[in-house]
Amino acid sequence: MSSLESDNRPGPRHVAVIMDGNGRWAQARGHPRTVGHRQGAEAVKGVVRTAGEFGVSYLTLFAFSAENWKRSAREVQDLMGLLRTFVQRELDDLRDNGVCLRVIGDRTPLPEDLQDMLARAEAQTRANRRIAVTLALNYGGRQDIVNAAQQMAQGVADGELGVDEISLQAFGDALSTSSLPDPDLLVRTGGEQRISNFLLWQCAYAEMFFIDKLWPDIGPDDVHAMVETYQHRRRRFGAIIGS
């Protein structure tokens, strides 16, 4: 039993994470940035396991942003290779441990073999219910909103949607995260305090947690601290609680 299970205060159901600091972690140790990315992938495995133990049902990880294509061709190539390796090596464990893997973002620029691997991983883990892990790949929050607006505009143009039917709920249903609840907690590692175009609409009421630790150094104690911090915050959603 985790130390949080006996606490009556609810923990976050959905945690979204900006995994920052892989490159800096490697450079501080005199290694190429790719070494930091590999170590970051190891951290992902531990965080997925620990988050599930603490009752998190949904974990969304910002793995590759739409802006990351601006990095050197070598680093992008290495990141694509790391994704391949991660899916190949971890798929059996994900499937056997109740992890449902999902991907959001524009996959079309990704290598075709990687697209196929991701699709197979999604299909093979779709029935799992212990924790849903979503990888945001080639994802941008603004583009997600634009795509939803275009989809709804097309519906109006085709006569399938009335203007008065455009609502907060309908717009949310048009986003790439329509199958997920909005994040309760947004975490960013690495010391930066911005959300960097990640889940802009979805994080309207998310609690923010910024930690100076670099992503490869994140472990179970840090996940515990994130969840516990959330439990101690008072979520009002615009209402006045107490006197």
Residues 91-113, mean pLDDT to the nearest whole number: 95
- List, in sequence order, the alpha helices (H) in 15-106: 22-28, 33-53, 73-96
The CA distance from 21 to 185, in Å, is 19
Tell me: is residue 194 an annotated ligand-binding position.
yes
Q: 128, 95 in Cβ contact below 8 A? A: yes
Confidence (pLDDT) at 6: 39
pTM: 0.92
pLDDT score of 5 more than 60: no
Confidence (pLDDT) at 3: 45
Q: 178, 148 in Cβ contact below 8 A? A: no
Active site residue 106: no
Q: Is 64 helix (H, G, I), strand (E, B) or coil?
A: strand
Tell me: is residue 215 an annotated ligand-binding position.
no
Confidence (pLDDT) at 1: 38
Tell me: is residue 37 an annotated ligand-binding position.
yes
Lowest mean pLDDT among 11-20, 108-117, 216-225, 234-243: 234-243
Active site residue 93: no
The CA distance from 8 to 146, in Å, is 40
Predicted confidence band of residue 235 (pLDDT cuts 50, 70, 90)? confident
pLDDT score of 96 more than 80: yes
Residues 189-194, mean pLDDT to the nearest whole number: 97
pLDDT score of 119 more than 70: yes
Tell me: is residue 20 an annotated ligand-binding position.
yes
Residues 1-9, mean pLDDT to the nearest whole number: 52
Tell me: is residue 13 an annotated ligand-binding position.
no
Tell me: is residue 22 an annotated ligand-binding position.
yes
Express each pLDDT in 144-180 by its tens digit.
999 999 999 999 999 999 999 999 999 999 999 999 9
Tell me: is residue 102 an annotated ligand-binding position.
no
Lowest mean pLDDT among 3-12, 82-91, 146-155, 221-230: 3-12
The CA distance from 181 to 186, in Å, is 13
Confidence (pLDDT) at 234: 78
Class level of CATH domain 14-140+182-230: alpha beta
20, 78, 184, 222: the catalytic one is 20
| Count of all residues that appear for the chain in the document | 243
7, 8, 68, 138: the catalytic one is 68
Q: What average pLDDT is seen over the chain?
A: 93
Express each pLDDT in 47-56 by its tens digit.
999 999 999 9
pLDDT score of 29 more than 80: yes
Q: 176, 105 in Cβ contact below 8 A? A: yes
Nearest alpha carbon to residue 212 among 15, 21, 61? 21
Lowest mean pLDDT among 90-99, 144-153, 210-219: 90-99
Residues 228-241, mean pLDDT to the nearest whole number: 76
- Any idea where the domains of the chain sit in the sequence? 14-140+182-230
Confidence (pLDDT) at 9: 81
Predicted confidence band of residue 237 (pLDDT cuts 50, 70, 90)? low
Tell me: is residue 233 an annotated ligand-binding position.
no
pLDDT score of 67 more than 80: yes
